[in-house]
Amino acid sequence: MSGKAPVEYLITGATGGLGTAILSTLLRSGVPQSQIAVGSSRDHLGSTYEARGLQFRHTDFESITSLMRAFQGVKKLFFVSTNTIDNEKRKQQHRNVVTAAEQAGVGRVYYSSLGIGGVDGTPWDVELMVAHLETERMLRESQLVWTSVREGMYADAFPCFLNWYPKDPQQVLYLPCDGTVAFALREELGEATAKLMMRGGFEMQNVLLTGPRAVKLSSIVNIINTASSRAVRIEYVSDEEYVRRNVSKDIGGKSEAFFRNWVTLLHGFEAGHAAAVSPLMSELLGRPARDGEQAAQLLLRRDRDYTWHQNYLKDGKKKGAKGTITEFMKMGCCMV
């Protein structure tokens, strides 16, 4: 036993943007602090959460024993994807979570998946989805009561999708294709996910959370130009040329492996894998969710030189920021 009092909610990944939004929404909605636990492998964070009246539970995804202790007395577990690029390792970590949740008797598991393929599609050709699809299969084969929340692609991450940097007001964006995406703001996704957990329902199924309409990547470039008085343009090139040009000039220092992986994502957008729209998010929010264009306008209005941390591999414009594909795959996916 963990020695901890039972709780209604255990939130893993609470230090990330999505988890933070979920935690904030639960608290704003009146869930007692005593009914919320935060899980992390970084024990030094414990005192910060405990000072807020929240429980802290050590969650090491490499250890079933650790996870079983953490999951004791938990009614609803929010399970965010781990951050390794090694799909086999990631699969084992997620298997540990599923096994431990079963053995600890967790009442309900909510898994943060990714909204590529619509609500039930299986786009195995998109590298970012492989671990999510594997985990959804684990949940289906388990004895758990689960919901896989396919979170829409983060509108906040538009600089990374386009490889756009505010430093060059006339940047040429080299892309292999255009694509259509039902973007959503991360803070709204977190709010909607928390409200889904509080509401209940949707047992043993995937749900899709997206903005109210899909928009083209090229339309986001138009927003960059109109909202921040720039003259950014797109040049469409072959896959190989996309990789070569971006590796050679990438301000964020991302690797060739990153861009080769990213090609599969962009072609997934081109094929419409991320274009499906669901009304559920707006319903949960109780207001219209923002679409990708509205979100980009909002972010650029807040900061004309808006950047997204995962666009940077090493210290750059955003100190200490990271931009590896592993960071982006946290995205519970896309993102954290």
- Chain segment 174-214, per-residue pLDDT in tens: 999 999 999 999 999 999 999 999 999 999 999 999 999 99
- Secondary structure of the chain: what % helix, strand, coil (to 5)? 45, 15, 40
pLDDT at 324: 42
Over residues 25-37, the mean pLDDT reads 98
pLDDT at 85: 67
Between the alpha carbon of residue 54 and those of residues 22, 27, 45, 90, 260, the distances in Å are 14, 10, 12, 28, 42
Share of the chain above pLDDT 70, in %: 92
pLDDT at 41: 87
Q: What is the pLDDT of residues 107-138, one digit of tens each?
A: 999 999 999 999 999 999 888 899 999 999 99
Amino acid occupying residue 252: G
Please report the beta strands in 220-324, taking only residues with DSSP state E, as ranges in sequence order.
233-236
**Which pairs with CB-CB distance under 8 Å and at least 24 residues apart come from 100-104?**
100/64, 100/67, 100/68, 100/70, 100/71, 101/67, 101/71, 101/77, 101/142, 101/144, 102/142, 102/143, 102/144, 103/64, 103/68, 104/67, 104/68, 104/71, 104/72, 104/74
Identify the structural domains of the chain with CATH numbers, from first to last: 7-154+183-209 (3.40.50.720), 155-182+213-271+291-329 (3.90.25)
pLDDT at 311: 78
| Contact indicator for 83, 124 with CB cutoff of 8 Å | no
pLDDT at 126: 85
Q: How would residue 2 be classed by pLDDT, with cut points 50, 70 and 90? A: low
Average pLDDT, the chain: 91
Q: Is the dihedral of CA 10, 331, 193, 123 positive or negative?
A: negative
